[in-house]
Structure 1
């Protein structure tokens, strides 16, 4: 996969009170605030272009430019012959909490399904062995799953863990159960914390096919090394996530 640096857009604080600038940007920012604040509800129709032209006393080109930018951001969608409508918020997982995918999504009432596409035992994996804190020469288990949310693929997850755990997990129902919950509730291994790294990559042919997107589509890659409560590393994961139907969120305190 080809990596490249991605800047995650953040709505600035001053978007609540738009600053002087191009007319289309001021209209865009004002509409964005109304959408984000809930003044316009999901699937609610926005005022027509003519109404916005009259309200802001601008040209049709200016209104269309503002609406076009909000559509690119995923806040609006167009229905031919009917106008612009507010998009339904994307499902999201809070990265500030160490949870399995199904554990996090079930709290919001979403349907979750995991498709197991590979379970392999790697006899020679020096770097993985080192990162997982295993004795040199011990095999590593590779677990490959496609995570589905409401019957649509959202991520392709590749997990590595010691074979002493992998051999047990191979006998579990990994289609409907979270690995984290199995480790804690069934194996009695309490989780402690995880180290994360996030970047953007272009989907290779295999990942694109599994996620049902075009090859070279930009996706998020999350590297997560989860440790037990005793601090020992347990699971190293690479999560390749679509950006059009799923979000990660994080609250950061000063």
Structure 2
């Protein structure tokens, strides 16, 4: 079995290197696929991967060991604790109209669109496809032009053929698919989690590298149970709040 493969990281020299490495590795561990191997690469391999010294890598691993995410064994190596998983998600029920309303209200600029290979992290949603059509959009505050979030959608090619780009500057993808394309949407599964801004997100949202952002993933299903769109939206942490009202 091959070793666990951590995500890459662009280091910010203004923050402690061991902290940045530990947070990146922590995110990789918690966000790993269920079938990912539990054994981590060696200290030297990890240090080379992140471009830091072995001493810095050792300090980062010590932090993760203190959290209970990994265990280190002499001569055997370092292993992810099987119980190191994200907490069980809170599941909330709502309507597609609520999703459309939440995503509406801000003008969007289409940064680009076109066919692209199905990303590895989305392969489970598009098992019958090799390519999707990817759309990238930037939303800005209408009052001051300040960027608030940027979105990337992966859409089935046969549906993308019927999407008008102009509609995407006015409406969220969910509304376009439902009202303009005619997709019978049955449900959307939403996930919101905290992350650190990568270089592209920092540039588009005009925030410092590694500043906190909220990462939204919305998986949209049609009435046959097929995934038609996966939206990944990156929100500025200082411009987004998540409010839920529960009726007793």
- TM-score class, shorter-chain normalisation, is 0.5 to 0.7
Aligned to 1:166: 160
User: Which of 231, 236, 244 pairs up with 1:242?
Assistant: 236
Change (3 A) 1:218 1:251: same
Residue 175 of structure 2 corresponds to residue 181 of structure 1? yes
Aligned to 1:98: 96
| Cα separation, 2, equivalents of 1:158 and 1:105 | 13
| Cα separation, 2, equivalents of 1:223 and 1:136 | 20
TM-score with structure 2 setting the length: 0.55
Aligned to 1:146: 138
| Cα separation, 2, equivalents of 1:209 and 1:171 | 23
| Cα separation, 2, equivalents of 1:196 and 1:102 | 13
C-alpha contact 1:128 1:140 (8 A) present in aligned 2? no
Equivalent residue runs for 1:34-183 within 5 Å: 96-99=94-97, 103-104=101-102, 112-123=106-117, 125=119, 128-133=122-127, 135-137=128-130, 139-150=131-142, 151-169=145-163, 171-183=165-177
Aligned to 1:229: 223
TM-score with structure 1 setting the length: 0.54
Change (3 A) 1:155 1:198: same
C-alpha contact 2:100 2:175 (8 A) present in aligned 1? no
Change (3 A) 1:173 1:187: closer
1:166-217 CA-partner distances (Å, limit 9, x unpaired): 2332544321233222222222212221112222111011111111111111
Instruction: State the structure with bigger RCO (CA 8 A, min sep 6), 1 or 2.
Output: 1
1:210-242 CA-partner distances (Å, limit 9, x unpaired): 111111111111111111233221111111111
Long gaps (5+) in structure 1: 6-93
| Cα separation, 1, equivalents of 2:99 and 2:140 | 10
What CA RMSD, in Å, does the superposition of the two structures yield over aligned residues?
Answer: 3.0
Long gaps (5+) in structure 2: 1-8, 10-23, 28-91
C-alpha contact 1:100 1:180 (8 A) present in aligned 2? no
